Structure 1
């Protein structure tokens, strides 16, 4: 393999010299030269192995037959049996490898595939299964990382070996050359002499890495740490190139994309979070089961960290809520989980909350019995080391933040320690350096929207194709930057509870709408539109040291542009806005100007745009090491030029010039005449030639070129080191820059809310401390955007002290669910700080919105539809408060009518009488309407969705989608069946049966009411009570 780098390759090339009209032979191992491709080697093997005139079986002697059999067996050992040949087309080659890269792989590939007729040392290898030095190196690296798919740099390609090659071929649709799949000496692969392999061009590395991590694989990149020039000058010139695992990636830790902003792209369903979860303290059984759960979620691409510790019940609704809010693309599970938690995690991970593909990646870690103590010790040493390393004047502040981290609950500490260890493998542990950006999920400064509510109200995703279109976030998102979009997403999922903060936000939106401030608002929008890079992601990539030169320039130029736009703002009063949240956000933006300009002054912008590492820094800013290498290269190039005089004297010419051919420099051309060639010294080495001229390198040129190449490689390393030093310097200003970007995100989110508020039919809500919902002519914020026809508005009045519950009836498809969702969405929008779609709205501060809608079963947990219904209802009854809004849709339909009515009535009565939550209760059980009479104060009201009947027997109905007082006495299910194209014959039979059952039930009810009246009149009770009972029974007759 590489050990033969400078010997056998040169001998082979010298033997093949002058065989073509134009041939080229490198004088020394060149980094941009590559042996023949596998396809050309196979072609050579085919024709060299075949005699010019094929012999018949009768003409072949036993010795020749034996020799042919040996060659055949060798072919089978190398390339497999006949079934492998269709995947190996000598004419087509590998489809994924481009022509340039195909001709640019290193000499190691050629050594790994010797020609069919080996001689010398190669013959010894063919006779046994001894591994080459490079194969031993591959096995050593792979055995340390068996859980990852490795891309190993070999010259100017990245190679996959063994089972990794088969995996890559399947995912990337590239060719896999057959061979050994295992990395042990398994007897089943004893007949194979090399590893299966596949390759991709070096410049397409991250395209393929991204596809592999999207498929759920852990991917490692093994880079070649030596170049040919430095290797030739080093002590290990006869050993393989030094290779090392430099990067590891998974879904959540892949942040290699440049943060260029694609304004047309929607925010992904997943937010790129890696979530660590641990569970402890399981107690109880069945519906009394309780577990303690701790989580830490980190978004490596932005630096956000969320933590929480909580107790969860047997339905696991708490952890489900957090998983749906955070929407991780990767889970790290520490220790054993209970069966219920495991089932939930598995169910959600096979769902739609992902960054790239269909599944959430799951990784598990062991948890010791002393995990809490170990975690505390590990975190203490981690942060103590960080504090000692900084030595900044903010040590006291940083120490206080460290104290806050150490005061976290034990289960959160276990998760944090596991995450630090996990991300260290990916070089991303620095994300935990800045504890300023740690947030508690359950800090009750926000309205609670649990998992069911997020799903049923379509907060982030619609329930049709699970995309963002049609969701509340989609309808409200008018942001112009990615980081503003992420902030608005957090606002949508966590509405405010504090009236003061809410009014501050709505006042800012109102001021942005003010016609007197239209110029200022326009300038804000214009500035936001000019930000063409995701500054939040770019900044964290700088902090990780993973930022590219063009990306750094774009980030700094964008930040400079923003700072210059607000350079006149010296204090919040100069911003032109009265709103504190706006004026303070604008005032912080110019503070980054001086630092940004100081960094830009170090950069040569022209070179940075081209990603030119050699001229990236301005000459005055270059390091001493870079200057020394430049001087050495200049000196060598001067000596090469001066060497032309000696060459001219040798050839007897007045003047000689170097030529460059096929990428080889400093060639001396000599005419192919006998007189001219006689003057060429024997020490000169012929490199290439044509019919007219021969081209040579002198020994001095070879030596100086080698020295020049070494200096160039050292210069490249010095340039890279200087760039990393610059990134490190910028990282010291991370907190300042991050605060400025957060301020800009706040401005963007507020500007987005002002765009929504400017739409026709949107109004600023009034806020009150009372638990009240008064909406006049409210509309559904998402449905009205996708409806072709105009949306029919409706009024709503709910109050804890007056009507606090509505019993909603009406025909199927009459708009009941849309009406109750509309109320909840308007309340959520109001507490986000947005204007709402209504003529007027007065809203109280709700602490939560709970929903029980839709019918589905939980087969993984062995629970029926009805069990799921009741379990979710039980959770609501435990958690709801008088300041909550509760929506129950058709509770009790999962069982028999009698049981369903009984449960529904009991739950509704408890909610109105005891919980006192604001409640919207949808039902088809008309008997429930009688419950309203039990609340003479009007705490429960009957309302229905209006409709009109047409046809001889009222068989056709028209939905009016308006809310009206009273009860709808029929559900008109047959009308829906007709719309669903149920055959007419079946509908006719159903109509007859329906009428028969209605008549039968009506007679029974009438009989019962009449018996009640008779019994009441017969009893010896006071006339007042008897009159009340008779009046109640007469009301029942009216309902019939």
Structure 2
């Protein structure tokens, strides 16, 4: 640092303490950045890059931002993944000898942002600590704004790490190289960005933990958990450089306490955001969120992310929801009271952090004053869980009273400007208020006296921070001033300013009183804030209780509004739902009637193989079974007439995934990897959902893989499974697999048209109606016509092959283009398949971003005649019926010949003419 000016030497010394951060170095009214930090900040913030002399030949790159608007700039940098170290002047420049002493007072990182207006009220901002030791992975997650701290551990595998990442979605991670490498790899694979910092604990791990959590028995925690928490706490202390007293409790859990939901399942079921645009609307979280508090909204998301596996805990939630569901008036009273409760968790966080102002304390007081009324409402309900909750609520009346006695009703935002403390709270402060008030009265009286003595009616007494109090006289009236009594202080364009000995003397008394008054007010405020901070555990417990109550009333409100019913959870195997509905699809189509479906997955019939046309509702049906299970296990009523449900330990879904272009994997490879995870981790208590199993490869191979997977689920796993497929040939598995049943989405065919009924019925479908669905989806008419022509050509070629193989063979009948298309050809791109059959159903964007026919529109009819000779006998009639159901496009030439030969033999045996 030789050759640099003293100030730049100080800068370089401070910068050495924060090499991985951009240093905001306070110089007067600005935060300045130098060297590479200046180049980076100027580029990222789009501010002017300048230079400064620093004792070297070359000017030092420099840029800066005003201190009063620095927060916005810091937020922008942190959002881009940077750390920002804030260096303040910690010495009064007026009394400093030499360069003013400066220190880093805080390092702002993506995981330690405290300015909650940039985070969103209903969202957490987690930073995690990680450790990998003895084959175990320790994972600690903390939201610094709320004081929440969770810790768990599990076998060190990428899949387990990925599942926890899906729950917390951290902005930052701290740990050793190995554990961070695994975490960052899993995060990148999920398309998430996590800032990773390597850190080790300086000193004894137990000492670090006991210093932060003196009441916790750390000997009972396994080493991976201890190390993960210790690294996290040490890093937070290093960066925040202040008390973290609100981090007082560690919530330890085992992932096996919750239903396991991998990233694909969360995405496919759209639990917290939609697939198409990652928006909240259209997700289960959006549907169930009728919460009234920010902390309730955050807890709701956590409950959805972690469905319970404990029947007793689920039962308590359902009991509470049932009581609230059946008590409309009490529920409305409760919602009214909860609306007046501020974000207790983040208020407590700011109090502990030392950043809470007087308005925050008043918000805390106002919230605490609602608790007695909340308890009174709960007392009116006949519910053991709610009574237990009300009895455990501490209204913290002593804290509310202390704040009410001290803090003014409408204090300023700043805590350094006075006006914080209520009159009558402190005798000394009241004396200073009187001195200031009397002094100002004296000033007003002096102004009146001077006007009378001089005869100058425009004479006035003013004040500014540079000159203090002064008398101001316009130039036109200067001749009226008495000689020698006024001391000129300042000359303006049209006036002169003067002082008198009496005015200066009174000014000293007034300013001293006001300065002492402001200092005393801040001291009294800080003392009160510290007293409240000492009660943080009580406040945090209350916040948890209010948040839980808020989520329960939200479940009750949605259940009452949507006509949901209480599920019956059992320890058995069977899953039986009567008149089930997809909650979100139903909700986004307000006013329409959702077509309900029953579900039955039992020990004797655990696999349902679903066939049927595209757009007929297969995916919606399978999703709704999973959604009903999840809703039940978070403690909510479900969209069904009745539901008997087992506890599901894990849900696997394989629904409509796109190619992994970044990873270089095709749809088929992604599907196979998903299936591989399922075969490894599914148990008899799991629910497996696979949509269009075996697609993405050749028909023969896809069908073979699909059958092999179904057989494995049936024989080796024994779990409940819903499998949809276009391989109608797989329907024969019902004969060989005892627990498999066929089901299909009903289609009504008649001479007048085809109707998709959206209803699941027993049996297998006989056609996929692919070209018909393409027309409904709006494909150009030229494409539709060409497709029907190709279909007819293929069928004709099959007939010729069959005829050459057996000269006595009959002909195949194929589905031809519906006559309605020929009668009235729509314009290219039109979506109406048959104008004379009624309007086409509106297209609807279903959850998952799949555009499908509306689930609620009137069924669409399309003329769809069949051709062929009338058979000569009952045997021929049966063969003709089989022929109508034959899916020619799914048959190989050899299969077609075999079918023809078998049909010929049956006709010959019956004596019918060929």
Offset from partner CA, 1:678-716 (integer Å, 9 cap, x none)? 95599x66333345x532457998899789768866654
For the Cα contact (< 8 Å) 2:116–2:145, is it kept in 1?
no
Counterpart in the other structure of 2:597: 794
8 A Cα contact 1:773 1:843, kept in partner:
yes
Q: Which residue of structure 1 lines up, in the alignment, with residue 286 of structure 2?
A: 474
Query: 1:378 is matched with which residue: 198, 205, 218?
Result: 205
Q: Counterparts of 2:461 and 2:900 in 1: how far apart (Å)?
A: 116
1:325 and 2:215 correspond? no
Q: 1:766 to 1:611 in 2, by over 3 A?
A: same
**Pick from 752, 756, 761: which aligns with 1:959?**
756
Corresponding residue number in structure 2 for 1:296: 140
2:707 aligned partner: 905
Relative to structure 1, the CA distance from residue 211 to residue 700 in structure 2 (aligned partners, 3 Å threshold; closer, same or farther) is farther
Q: 1:564 to 1:927 in 2, by over 3 A?
A: closer
Are 1:176 and 2:48 matched, yes or no? yes
Q: Are 2:457 and 1:457 aligned?
A: no
Work out whether 1:563 is the aligned partner of 2:563.
no
Superposed CA deviations along residues 234-281 of structure 1, whole A, max 9, x for unmatched, are 353xx455544333322331223479xx9xx8844xx31112234456
Q: Secondary structure at the match of 2:583?
A: coil
Post-superposition offset of 1:946: 1.9
Provide the rounded CA distance (Å) in 2 between the counterparts of 1:874 and 1:729.
Answer: 57
Alpha-carbon distance between aligned partners in 1 of 2:222 and 2:427, rounded to the nearest angstrom? 48
Q: CA offset at residue 980 of structure 1?
A: 5.2
Q: Which one of the candidate residues 153, 158, 179 is aligned to 1:309?
A: 153
Show the 5 A alignment for 1:826-905: 826-858=628-660, 861-905=663-707
Q: For the residues of structure 2 that align with 1:623 and 1:386, how far apart are their CA atoms?
A: 39
CA distance in 2: counterparts of 1:715 and 1:328, whole angstroms: 45
2-side partners of 1:557 and 1:266: how far apart?
18
Conserved? CA contact 2:4–2:54, under 8 Å: no
Residue matched to 1:42: none
Secondary structure of the 1:782 match is helix
Task: Determine whether 1:991 maps to 2:796.
Answer: no
Cα gap change, 1:439 to 1:767, in 2 (>3 Å): same
Describe how 1:952-1031 pairs up with structure 2 within 5 A: 957-979=754-776, 982-995=779-792, 997=794, 999=798, 1001=891, 1004-1005=894-895, 1007-1008=897-898
Distance in 2, matches of 1:205 and 1:716, equals: 25
Whether 2:70 is the aligned partner of 1:210: answer no
CA RMSD of aligned residues (A): 4.2
1:857 offset after TM fit, Å? 4.1
Are residues 409 and 700 of structure 1, via their aligned partners in 2, closer, same or farther at CA, if it must alter by over 3 Å?
farther
Distance 1:241 1:638 in 2: 40
Residues 674/594 of structure 1: CA separation in 2 closer, same or farther (3 Å cut): closer
Relative to 1, partners in 2 of residues 1:306 and 1:145: Cα closer, same or farther, differing over 3 Å?
same
Q: How many angstroms apart in 2 are the aligned matches of 1:926 and 1:135?
A: 78
> Is residue 2:22 matched to residue 1:149?
yes
Judge conservation of contact 2:469–2:504 (CA < 8 Å) in 1: no
Matched-pair contact (CA < 8 Å) for 1:428–1:544 = no
Deviation at 1:753? Answer: 1.0
Distance change in 2, residues 1:338/1:866 (3 Å): farther
In structure 2, how many angstroms separate the alpha carbons of the residues matched to 1:255 and 1:385? 20
Give the CA deviation at 1:424: 1.1
Q: Following TM superposition, by how much is the alpha carbon of 1:633 offset from its aligned partner in structure 2, in angstroms?
A: 7.7
Deviation at 1:459, TM superposition (A): 0.7
**2:404 is the alignment partner of 1:600:** yes
Say whether residues 1:770 and 2:572 are aligned partners: yes
Aligned match of 1:528: 338
Pairing of 1:439-458 with structure 2 (within 5 A): 439-442=252-255, 444-458=256-270
Structure 1 segment 159-238 matched on structure 2, within 5 A: 159-161=32-34, 164=37, 167-172=40-45, 175-176=47-48, 178-179=50-51, 190-192=57-59, 195-200=61-66, 202=68, 204-225=69-90, 231-232=93-94, 234=95, 236=97
Q: Could you tell me how far apart the structure 2 residues matched to 1:429 and 1:448 are?
A: 37
Q: Secondary structure at the match of 2:761?
A: strand
Any stretches of 5+ residues in structure 2 without a counterpart? 802-890, 910-914
Q: 1:161, CA displacement in angstroms? A: 5.0
- Residue 385 of structure 1 deviates from its aligned partner by 7.2
1:363 maps to 2:196: yes
> For 2:185 and 2:413, how far apart are their aligned partners in 1?
50
Change over 3 Å in CA distance of 1:339–1:596 after alignment to 2: closer
How far the C-alpha of 1:343 sits from its partner, in A, is 3.1
**The residue matched to 2:648 in structure 1 has which SS?**
coil
CA contact (8 A) 1:162 1:179 kept: no
CA contact (8 A) 1:553 1:609 kept: no
Kindly provide the CA deviation profile for residues 762-819 of structure 1, in whole angstroms up to 9, marking residues without a partner as x: 22222222112111111110011112643221111111x2210001111122211111
**Structure 2 residue 112 is matched with structure 1 residue 253:** yes
Is 1:665–2:468 an aligned residue pair?
Answer: yes
1:539 is aligned to 2:429:
no
The 5 Å alignment of 1:724-735 reads 724-735=526-537
Distance of aligned partners of 1:896 and 1:706 in 2 relative to their CA distance in 1, 3 Å threshold: farther
Q: Distance between the aligned counterparts of 2:304 and 2:96, measured in 1?
A: 62
Task: Give 1:29's aligned residue.
Answer: none
Asked if 1:492 corresponds to 2:492, the answer is no
TM-score (norm 2): 0.78
CA distance in structure 1 between the partners assigned to 2:396 and 2:601 by the alignment: 49
- State the 1:471 CA deviation: 0.7
Distance 1:643 1:1006, change over 3 A: closer
Q: Deviations over 1:351-404 (max 9, x none)?
A: 4xxxxxxxx44032155xxx7xx67x23424424764xxxxxxxxxx2xx2x1x
State the 1:885 CA deviation: 0.9
Distance in 1 between residues matched to 2:472 and 2:155, nearest whole Å: 83
- Distance change in 2, residues 1:590/1:344 (3 Å): closer
Specify which of 742, 745, 764 is matched with residue 544 of structure 2: 742
Q: Measure, in 1, the Cα distance between the counterparts of 2:513 and 2:91.
A: 13
Match of 1:771, SS? coil
Q: Pairwise mapping of residues 367-406 of structure 1 onto structure 2 (< 5 A)?
A: 377-384=204-211, 387=214, 398=215, 401=216, 403=217, 405-406=218-219
Structure 1 spans left out of the alignment, 5+ residues: 1-128, 282-290, 352-359, 388-397, 1018-1029, 1035-1040
Deviations 1:160-185 (A, max 9, x none): 55555555555555x415226xx998
Answer whether contact 1:658 1:666 (CA < 8 A) is retained.
Answer: no
More displaced stretch, 405-414 vs 670-679: 670-679
Q: Call closer, same or farther: CA 1:135–1:536 in 2, change over 3 Å.
A: same
1:675 positional shift: 8.3
Moved more, 549-558 or 979-988: 979-988
- Structure 2: distance between partners of 1:380 and 1:539: 26
CA contact (8 A) 1:781 1:822 kept: yes
CA offset at residue 550 of structure 1?
Answer: 0.6
Distance 2:207 2:308 in 1: 34
Offset from partner CA, 1:800-844 (integer Å, 9 cap, x none): x22100011111222111110011101111222222111222112
Closer/same/farther in 2, CA of residues 431 and 792 from structure 1, 3 Å limit: farther
Cα drift, residue 139 of structure 1: 4.5
1:513 alignment partner, one of 325, 350, 354: 325
Aligned counterpart, 1:616? 420
1:548: Cα distance to partner?
Answer: 1.4
